[in-house]
Homo-oligomer: A and B are copies of this chain.
Amino acid sequence: MIGHFKQYLRMTTAINEVQVNEIVKSFTPRKVARGTLLVNYGEVCREFYFVGSGCIRTYFLTSGGQQHTRFIALEGSVGTAMSSFIGQTSSTEFLEALEDSELYAINYRNFRRLLTEIPGWLDFYNLFLEMAYIYQHEKLQQLSTLSAAQRYEKLMKDRPQYVQRISNKVLASYLDIREETLSRLKSR
């Protein structure tokens, strides 16, 4: 699994092996069971994750108990409750494991230390923030301008693995549509 993480770092940024090893040393492997809550609402998110296997997601919860999935990270990608992590402020979203997962975690202090010690890590973080920005931007754009059917079609095209793997309940909350609507779209 650690090999996947090293490979990920080599692929995403110009970085030498010494730096790759220095970064990997700052991450701790952790197995979590499906349903594990990694960050609760109101809690400060203290860790950033590489997903070695499995799947994690963040979601908002309305006062009426409705979930809105914001972000899904499958194996081979990184993420966390980022808004809370950046400023070490109370999280307005939940972070949970959607499947049994093998994660690599780095805490906030080490994350920031690497930014000053390893130029490649700053480059990586910059690229990550750009991609995370675009991911959120697309979500906002799709919620604002696309119909339920169009959002589903776009997801099928851009992230078919979500449709194959994620439960209808979570997928519907990701697309901001009702489960019945999703079932209808899927059966077309």
Give the interface of A toward B (CB within 8 A): 60-63, 68, 70, 82-83, 86-87, 92-93, 122, 125-126, 129-130, 132-134, 136-141, 143-145, 176
Contact = CB atoms under 8 A, between A and B. Distances in A.
Nearest to A136: B136
Contact of A126 (B61, B92, B129, B141): B129
Identical copies in the complex: 2
A28 B82 CA distance: 34
Contacts of A70: 137, 140-141, 144
Contacts of A86: 130, 133-134
A99 to B, nearest CB: 23
Contacts of A145: 60-63, 68, 92
A122 B126 contact: yes
A165 to B, nearest CB: 23
A119 to B, nearest CB: 9
